[in-house]
Structure 1
């Protein structure tokens, strides 16, 4: 291994090959602290050419690679195993802006830029890159692509799959796939870039992407509204879409339990507590006052528990901060068994009712913290307090997961709507994913990576 480290240092520079445990430790544990590994080293290549040379070297030496971006995975998808023989390849030094083309509404960047930096680049050109996540200050574009991230504006703009025009990828044999064209229509064969979006680094390393930009909205109307039930909330969603079309950018659903957590950890900031809260945002061109008036008029005709409209940008930001604080607030409150699930939007109320009842029957006193992107059916469905002793919570994880995923499946849903599969959900994917789809995906893995060196131990492993 010492010879390999020397060769890596010759390729990318000795200061960019980390071997000291103090330097590698942050790269050896996932964001939630559930998965711990021991990498051979952490390599920090600075260009696509260096990534390609590094991958070719590892292929020749039979060394497994674990691609890593901002290391914000919640499923262990970017964590090495404990063997000390897997090389973490972190792409944070790939930071070039290759091309900003406002007339084409496109931006080509390397994979190491954070999502917040890409948003700022777009805004500086009078454009919008609409992907928005709570971790946007630390997650990187490469990781967003590898998990097909969605976030808060999927309802209008779609996931990373819909937001990507082109990719540059280093394949497992060291070849570079150059598919960075900024085209919106191309029928010249299969759209091969789609293979790598959502593959969690198991088919290659994404080094750059051409992303879709949109006109920067000049008007926004934002409201925090309380309703009496999830059924009412979903009925509102359909009515809002009918009234406002694609001006409806965000429709977030927040349970009473979530609101009480926010009120406890952020006292005085929550407008009110209702059975269910909705964060609704419209965006458009034109004047904010006109859009706000339309939303106020619509809301005035609805039955609601309570509601507030943001009267300024600072008030809008405060409402968004409450929504974005949910994950961290829940983490502060104690451990939970997390599920990033999706069901058809129309099924959300029935899922919440029936899955919740099944969990309460199995675990009296259980607490369910449910919130998420109701507009696209993605719920963050988190379970805690299955036992009096919080330390014993994860003893119940298999039984809790069995209940949750069974109800997800009954309602035609998915066990991984936004955060990927990683290590966490692999056994459940085997159970619930269509066998033909799994076989097809593994066939593609075998074709591209026959030695299984790209992010091994995750869900595409044979």
Structure 2
């Protein structure tokens, strides 16, 4: 740790902050400081204290207390930054739930956002207006507005015209001295000009001096013809002469070194609704670059370059075009994106692009597609390149991405020169890709630092790259990823002494004590980029390919409670590293390992929903939940005999569970909801949280007798095998819901209405897909139950002749992954959409409803069908934003109720005016009802209420 404090100083700081912030938002334990302090870069610094202020006032208090003790602070949003700008060994200020505010302005022509809003969420808010924010980084599904603005991140389509610098309208900022400025408020601006006259006048002085220095001013203008995030935004000094405007634009791209952006107002841009894309293949890089230069004048939205090595890295992934494997060495590709507001405009633009490419040799005819799935696949190829390299690297090495820009007219020379440098330094696995229209290239390569000579090899590479790009070609060493730590030692090389000195003057005006993110952007340490390198030791084959990019975090239900998938992996790696020390481990190492292991039980294992939703966001499909289930297996080996007994007497176990529900219902009737809740909470506390938490949403017991009177009809009826899950055989309708039928009753009635003959498997009370055991780590019993079920379903369906409907989505996914491929296994949404809607006459109900797309539905690709089905049945359908996994996870809503509560934070506000909610998992519906404040039911209930038999017409 940097030698600027004592242990007593940290105790004093925490004590001082605890007078304003609750203890749970002042984090200094070994597990969470390491987990929360890790970002997507290849650097590791562990903060002494992680603070989660929820308001501007709290943040100002944190800054004041740190300033009083001369303690540096670093601001963190999503931690997807790649250049080491969001790590610290001092105080890390992390954005939590209090920073997710937003406001649509002027019918979508502008949007006001707090820094904790995910970029994709901002675009979802703007979508109804046909608008979007200008910046569009590849990580927009997980990165936050605070990071987008602080790094001046751009992306595929925005170029330099629509980045944050060009589209910022106003900011609210908090400076190092705790002063707040709102540039949209004339009173705030006037007060700031009085209180900070020296800062405002200093900026105006620097602007006048820079514009008077013709050579420097021209150099700045030249540098910003390209994408450029190296150093501070010196273009603000030549673009503006007013101190407030200069300040506003200097904050963009300042990486938290000049102040904190608490709110940003963007002028939005048009989001053209019609999109087409082509993957164009060229025989060599020279022709690829000629095509790029030609396309610069064409009506394209984006042109993404990928070299042959980049295409190699993804060619074997599922769904990739077969042609990728047949391309010759030396070939390259351009992903060309064209958009329009209507069919005629799109057609005209496509024709212009085709004409532009007519005289340039391609390996195949250039064909544009408007098919949504193919279009998405092309962009998936491009966006997955960086993590894909990480996935194929040697275990124990990291992956490094750098981000440069060449003048577009010299792009082909630059690419060849860059490739030659990599090969000369032995980096034969490096790949090149990037935003070709801007001359912006990303180069990615695996790098180990453990072996002798590797740090020196990396340093020699970076020295030569910096000289080539920044000096010989006059390009940008950091085009869009921010300077960070890994390029801070090279800022002066690129900009020259005069401009570099100007940057230090700017830093001194804003932060004279150098307490805001020191060593980021500007550093006096020439070897900063070689220090505090992150170890990535082998920890578990399931997750060893993780590069800690953080793409998984936005949808994790425990992200605001304990750890995210990335953070669970970080701790597993640290435990693995400590374990390898063996005899070299100090007493401090051993104590640290014990602390991490003990804390990981709750933070890492118990509070993981383990639904696999993280794998849908991971570019290489890592399911961190699978790692957690394996850990649960290791911890529950002594319970295998109990699992076997339950599995062997499963019908009795479900009867016992129904009996428990009946007893709970009787107690509820006698004691009332409030007293029942208090008694349950008290009993759970006394048991050390071993007893499950009772919930007012706990339903009645399910009346399984309904299965004995399954409908039957004419022999010529189409047949379907119906498998009620163990959840629907246990949990019946809710106590307070007007829908008094169980899921089984609804399903049977609906199937009868649609004209199906229902076949029920034998031994139905004994059957289970195995998920209930697998989620606890009891793999052997899970496999045993799956084999039993497989046998019975094959018999009932006549070896797959008839489709099988399971009324619970997670169970269906489990069966699809483990049962015989001959079985056609469907859950409620897919079966209703594909088989019931065509047989029914549906009249949408005059209701406003909410739908919850379960994790399993998302993983099965059913999100669109889910919403389509709901919209066929109801006038108004709400899909709550930022509610992904509900966190109930089978029984965790009872055993770890805080996970369910955290995952559904904000749900009640979004569904407050809905009549009811609908989903396709009975256990999920319990938690949703509890925290949504409205009854949640099976989606089949909605369809049943909105439909009648088509034969009745």
Partner of residue 155, structure 2: 151
| Residues 1:91 and 1:158: Cα distance change in structure 2 (over 3 Å) | same
State the 1:384 CA deviation. 5.1
Equivalent position to 1:206, from 224, 242, 261: 261
Of 301, 309, 317, 1:249 maps to 301
In structure 2, the CA distance between the partners of 1:87 and 1:172, relative to structure 1 (3 Å rule), is same
Q: How many residues align?
A: 450
**What are the residue-to-residue correspondences of 1:383-422 with 2, within 5 Å?**
383=445, 393-408=454-469, 409-422=471-484
The one of 347, 352, 357 aligned to 1:290: 347
| Match among 322, 337, 341 for residue 404 of structure 2 | 341
Q: Which residue of the other structure, out of 425, 430, 437, is the alignment partner of 2:487?
A: 425
Residue matched to 2:337: 281
**Structure 1, unaligned stretches of length 5 or more?**
none
The one of the two structures with greater contact order (alpha-carbon pairs below 8 A, sep at least 6) is 1
2:437 to 368, 375, 390: 375
Deviation at 1:28, TM superposition (A): 2.0
The structure whose Rg is larger is 2
Normalized per residue, the structure richer in strand is 1
Cα displacement string for residues 97-136 of structure 1 (whole angstroms, at most 9, x for unaligned residues): 3421144610001011111111111113331224222222
Q: 1:147 to 1:270 in 2, by over 3 A?
A: farther
Matches within 5 A, 1:144-223: 144-155=148-159, 157-180=161-184, 189-191=243-245, 192-223=247-278
Q: Secondary structure at the match of 1:380?
A: strand
**Partner SS for 2:156:** coil
CA positional deviation for 1:365: 7.0
- Once residues 333 and 391 of structure 1 are traced to their aligned partners in structure 2, the CA distance between those partners, rounded to angstroms, is 22
Q: Tell me whether 396-405 or 291-300 shows the greater mean CA deviation.
A: 291-300
2:77 match? 69
Distance, in Å, in 2 between the alignment partners of 1:56 and 1:93 is: 22
1:239 aligns with 2:298: no
Question: CA separation in 1, counterparts of 2:478 and 2:353?
Answer: 36
Greater share of helix: 2
Which piece of structure 1 moves more, 34-43 or 316-325? 34-43
The CA distance in 2 between the partners of 1:228 and 1:23, in whole Å, is: 50
TM-score, normalising length: structure 1: 0.89
Deviations 1:52-76 (A, max 9, x none): 2221222122221111111112111
Q: 2:382 aligns with which of 323, 327, 351?
A: 323
Candidates 122, 125, 129, aligned match of 1:125: 129
The 1:397–1:224 alpha-carbon spacing in structure 2 relative to 1, beyond 3 Å, is: same
In 1, the alpha carbon distance for the partners of 2:440 and 2:285 equals 14
Verify the 8 A CA contact 2:118 2:145 in the aligned structure 1: yes
1:225: which partner in 2?
280
Q: Which residue of 1 aligns with 2:571?
A: none
Which residue of the partner structure matches residue 684 of structure 2? none
Q: Contact (CA 8 Å) 1:55, 1:174: kept in 2 or not? A: yes
In 2, Cα distance between the equivalents of 1:229 and 1:15?
A: 57
Which stretch of the first structure deviates more once superposed, 153-162 or 445-454? 153-162
Q: What corresponds to 1:9 in structure 2?
A: 18
SS at match of 1:414: coil
Alignment correspondent of 1:22: 31
Counterpart-to-counterpart distance in 1, 2:523 and 2:371: 51
Residues 300 and 450 (structure 1), Cα distance of their counterparts in 2 relative to 1, 3 Å cut: closer
Q: Which deviates the most, 210-219 or 199-208?
A: 210-219
In structure 2, runs of 5+ residues without a counterpart are 1-9, 187-238, 525-953
Check 1:412–1:142 CA distance in 2 against 1; reply closer, same or farther (3 A cut): same
Does 2:507 match 1:445?
Answer: yes
- 1:307-360 alpha-carbon deviations (Å, 9 max, x no partner): 442231121111111110001101112144432111111111101112323443
Q: Indicate the RMSD between aligned Cα atoms, in angstroms.
A: 2.7
2 CA distance for matches of 1:391 and 1:131? 41
Number of the residue aligned with 1:114 = 118
**TM superposition shift of 1:21:** 1.9
Which residue of 463, 484, 498 maps to 1:436?
A: 498
Normalized against structure 2, the TM-score is what? 0.45
Secondary structure of 2:442's counterpart equals strand
Deviation at 1:18, TM superposition (A): 1.5
| Paired residue secondary structure (2:281) | strand
Rounded Cα–Cα distance in structure 1 between residues aligned with 2:420 and 2:78? 37
Distance 1:390 1:379, change over 3 A: farther
Alpha-carbon deviations, 1:425-462, whole Å to 9, x = none? Answer: 12222333321111111112112211111111323345
Residue 534 (structure 2) aligns with: none
